[in-house]
Amino acid sequence: MEARLKEDILREAKRYEGAIMVIHETDDGQIFDAWEHVNSDSVRTPLEVFKCLEDDGFPIKYARVPITDGKAPKSSDFDTVAKNIASASEHTAFVFNCQMGRGRTTTGTVIACLVKLRIDNGRPIKVLLDEMNHEHPDGSSSSGEEIRSDATRLTSSTVKVRTKNEHGRAFGIDDILLLWKITRLFDNGVECREALDAIIDRCSALQNIRQAVLQYRKVFNQQHVEPRVRRVALNRGAEYLERYFCLIAFAAYLGSEAFDGFCGQGECLMTFEDWLHQRPEILAMKSSIRLRPGRFFTVPEELRASLESQHGDAVMEAIVKARNGSVLGKGSILKMYFFPGQRTSSHIQIRGAPHVFKVDGYPVYSMATPTIIGAKEMLAYLGAKVNAGFSGQKVVVTDLREEAVVYINGTPFVLRELNKPVETLKHVGITGPVVEHMEARLKEDILSEVRQSGGQMLLHREEYNPSSNQSSVVGYWENIFADDVKTPAEVYATLKDEGYNIVYKRIPLTREREALASDVDEIQSCKDE
């Protein structure tokens, strides 16, 4: 396109006696036109400019990686930049530029620093503490990209990065549940994101990618701002959220063995693009940003206020905020599936297994998540127990939950966020093995916390008040031994060892979403077995 543009310019200049009309802008923003005399030597494309410099003896490699203004780089863009850096000599300097040298350029420098960190220090990627002792940029710095807008001017002049709601609690980046989820999706998610954040802060001379998300969120939630400005802020905020989300995924990719082959540290040679396609849950999370961006920037203040009053115990709150597991991380809780006063309904009454129903005319049953006792009772009801002379009725248990669940003292607990304990953590497109791996890591986090606290664990449950017809979430302490903590896969493996003729399958479906074709195929395979 640039080569054709050059041809157009020279063709037009020939019509106007070697001159072409160009537009200039003064320092105070005034626009004026002028005639510019040109010839074939004075009009060059960027590629020609750098080729001339190379011919003059400068050791330059020029690469063009076009990224749309305001958008996150494509996965192939990440790969192009990473390969260019990995293939360069040790002391090569890397220069990035875009229109204003701010938005896309900042993203490029962050990617480059992540790749250099991985190449120079190997895995796991981390920034040393003494390297992080640098001044954080002023939160009032502009969050805008190359395009100026009312929202940009508003964020640069009136918004502080960590804003407090009317109840005094600061809205932080981890209040965006999507970021909380992707960080805990990976084994190395927490440490890779810490390294990413340190690099983002270091590359924030003109813009801080992470803080820009909060700045636009602030503008969007200011009700007195005109709707057009709020709409622009929402769209720009979603773009920055998507960019930060992609950088988190890229940092996790660099921290895995997939990148080893590119930097001579192993055999595996997988591109970021291929790595992402093997993880459809990440692509689904990314797509959700564009589908409903407003939900990531809106926090129901009345819910937050009520939750803060319920979690008023300073010790418990401090423990939750100090959690640092790969899954059970800062701000996360384990909430009991069952609680006193919970309403249940069943056609078949089985202790510990709510909502048990049978489909008339078919050997198909449904139930909510059972306790271990409830699972045994259900299997006994179905005749799955192997006895002398009886092989037991074969039962295929298909677990459709996408959430990470763990059993403690025989009772199922689900991972939740302290500030949103009733919201389901959705992982659209996540596969069974990935969920089970998360649950295994969650179990490790629990056992680590139990060891540190002398055999106790802070858990949460809902308590129902019949007089007010309201439920509240409260924390409580439970004594736990290592053998008391099991993943669902371990629970059903133990039941199989105890003589129940069962097959356990994990096929995660997202609530309120249609099943994927692959999910239907997997359920069909259960029937075939």
Sign of CA dihedral 77, 79, 84, 88: positive
* pLDDT tens-place string over residues 259-271: 988 877 778 889 9
| Same-domain check for residues 40 and 152 | no
The pair of structure tokens assigned to 87 is 């293939």
The mean-pLDDT minimum among 181-195, 284-298, 397-411 falls in 284-298
> Is 133 a residue whose pLDDT tops 60?
no
- What's the pLDDT score for residue 470? 73
The bridge status of strand 395-399 relative to strand 502-506 is parallel
Nearest partner of 417 among 75, 129, 184, 226, judged by Cα: 184
Confidence of residue 344 (pLDDT cuts 50, 70, 90): low
- What's the pLDDT score for residue 165? 46
Residues facing residue 31 across a β-bridge: 25
- What's the pLDDT score for residue 38? 93
Is the pTM of the predicted complex or chain greater than 0.75? Answer: no
Spatial distance between the Cα atoms of 450 and 89, rounded to a whole number of angstroms: 48
- What's the pLDDT score for residue 302? 42
Residue 308 falls inside a structural domain: no
- What's the pLDDT score for residue 215? 92
Q: What is the pLDDT averaged over residues 17-25?
A: 94
Spatial distance between the Cα atoms of 253 and 269, rounded to a whole number of angstroms: 12
| Same-domain check for residues 221 and 345 | no
Residue 47 falls inside a structural domain: yes
- What's the pLDDT score for residue 30? 92
- Is 220 in contact with 297 (CB distance < 8 Å)? yes
- Percent of the chain surpassing pLDDT 70: 85
> Is 405 a residue whose pLDDT tops 90?
yes
* pLDDT tens-place string over residues 237-250: 999 999 999 999 99
- Is 423 in contact with 511 (CB distance < 8 Å)? no
- What's the pLDDT score for residue 239? 94
- What's the pLDDT score for residue 340? 53
Distance of CA 209 to the CA centre of its chain: 15
* pLDDT tens-place string over residues 359-373: 999 999 999 899 999
- What's the pLDDT score for residue 138? 42
Residue 387 falls inside a structural domain: yes
The mean-pLDDT minimum among 162-166, 448-452, 500-504 falls in 162-166
End-to-end CA distance of the chain: 58
> Is 151 a residue whose pLDDT tops 60?
no
The pair of structure tokens assigned to 315 is 């010790």
- Which of 299, 320, 349 is where one domain is finished? 299
| Same-domain check for residues 116 and 157 | yes
Length of the chain: 529
Question: In a 3-state reduction of DSSP, which class is residue 131?
Answer: helix
Our count of domains for the chain comes to 3
For residue 410, which phi and psi values (nearest 5 degrees)? 85, -5
H helix intervals, 341-431: 372-381
The secondary structure of 20-84 as a DSSP string is EEEEEE-TTS-EEEEEEE--TTT---HHHHHHHHHHTT-----------TTSPPPHHHHHHHHHH
Q: What is the pLDDT averaged over residues 469-498?
A: 88
Distant-in-sequence, close-in-space partners of 217: CB < 8 Å, separation ≥ 6: 171, 233, 237, 297
* pLDDT tens-place string over residues 271-315: 999 999 999 889 888 988 888 788 788 754 444 444 444 444 677
Tell me the C-alpha to C-alpha distance, in Å, between residue 327 and each of 40, 241, 397: 61, 21, 25
- Is 266 in contact with 123 (CB distance < 8 Å)? no
Residue 446 falls inside a structural domain: yes
Residue 310 falls inside a structural domain: no
| Same-domain check for residues 380 and 295 | no
For residue 21, which phi and psi values (nearest 5 degrees)? -75, 125
- What's the pLDDT score for residue 463? 78
Burial class (CB in 10 A: 0-12, 13-18, 19+), 500: buried
The pair of structure tokens assigned to 345 is 């309904």
Question: Could you give the dihedral angle defined by the CA atoms of residues 273, 276, 278 and 282, in that order, rounded to the nearest 10 degrees?
Answer: -160
Question: In a 3-state reduction of DSSP, which class is residue 424?
Answer: coil
Confidence of residue 178 (pLDDT cuts 50, 70, 90): confident
The mean-pLDDT minimum among 67-76, 147-156, 193-202 falls in 147-156
| Same-domain check for residues 523 and 399 | yes
Spatial distance between the Cα atoms of 368 and 403, rounded to a whole number of angstroms: 14
Spatial distance between the Cα atoms of 459 and 449, rounded to a whole number of angstroms: 12
| Same-domain check for residues 115 and 33 | no
- Which of 299, 326, 353 is where one domain is finished? 299
| Same-domain check for residues 231 and 343 | no
Name the helix (H) or strand (E) containing 239.
Answer: helix 227-254
- What's the pLDDT score for residue 147? 44
Ranked by mean pLDDT, the top range of 122-126, 139-143, 203-207 is 203-207
| Same-domain check for residues 142 and 19 | no
* pLDDT tens-place string over residues 76-106: 999 999 999 999 988 999 999 998 888 899 9
Burial class (CB in 10 A: 0-12, 13-18, 19+), 224: exposed
Residue 112 falls inside a structural domain: yes
Q: What is the pLDDT averaged over residues 375-404?
A: 88
Confidence of residue 477 (pLDDT cuts 50, 70, 90): confident
Confidence of residue 177 (pLDDT cuts 50, 70, 90): confident
Residue 67 falls inside a structural domain: no
Nearest partner of 211 among 134, 136, 114, 286, judged by Cα: 136
- What's the pLDDT score for residue 187? 86
**Residue-range definition of the domain harbouring residue 10:** 2-55
- Is 405 in contact with 446 (CB distance < 8 Å)? no
- Is 36 in contact with 22 (CB distance < 8 Å)? yes
Residues facing residue 120 across a β-bridge: none
- What's the pLDDT score for residue 293? 83
HSE (CB half, 13 Å, CA atoms) of 154? 21
**124 upstream amide cis, omega within 30 of 0:** yes
Q: What ranges make up the beta strands (E) of 247-364?
A: 332-336, 357-358
Spatial distance between the Cα atoms of 218 and 234, rounded to a whole number of angstroms: 10
Tell me which of 278 and 150 has the higher pLDDT. Answer: 278
Q: What is the pLDDT averaged over residues 34-49?
A: 94
| Same-domain check for residues 358 and 489 | yes
Q: What is the pLDDT averaged over residues 215-220?
A: 89
Tell me the C-alpha to C-alpha distance, in Å, between residue 67 and each of 85, 98, 293, 430, 528: 18, 9, 21, 28, 48
- Is 32 in contact with 26 (CB distance < 8 Å)? yes
| Same-domain check for residues 413 and 493 | yes
Residue 62 falls inside a structural domain: no
| Same-domain check for residues 275 and 356 | no
- What's the pLDDT score for residue 417? 86
> Is 342 a residue whose pLDDT tops 70?
no
- What's the pLDDT score for residue 154? 39
> Is 232 a residue whose pLDDT tops 60?
yes
The mean-pLDDT minimum among 18-22, 133-137, 439-443, 459-463 falls in 133-137
Q: Taking all residues of the chain, what is their mean pLDDT, rounded to a whole number?
A: 83
- What's the pLDDT score for residue 306? 43
| Same-domain check for residues 477 and 520 | yes
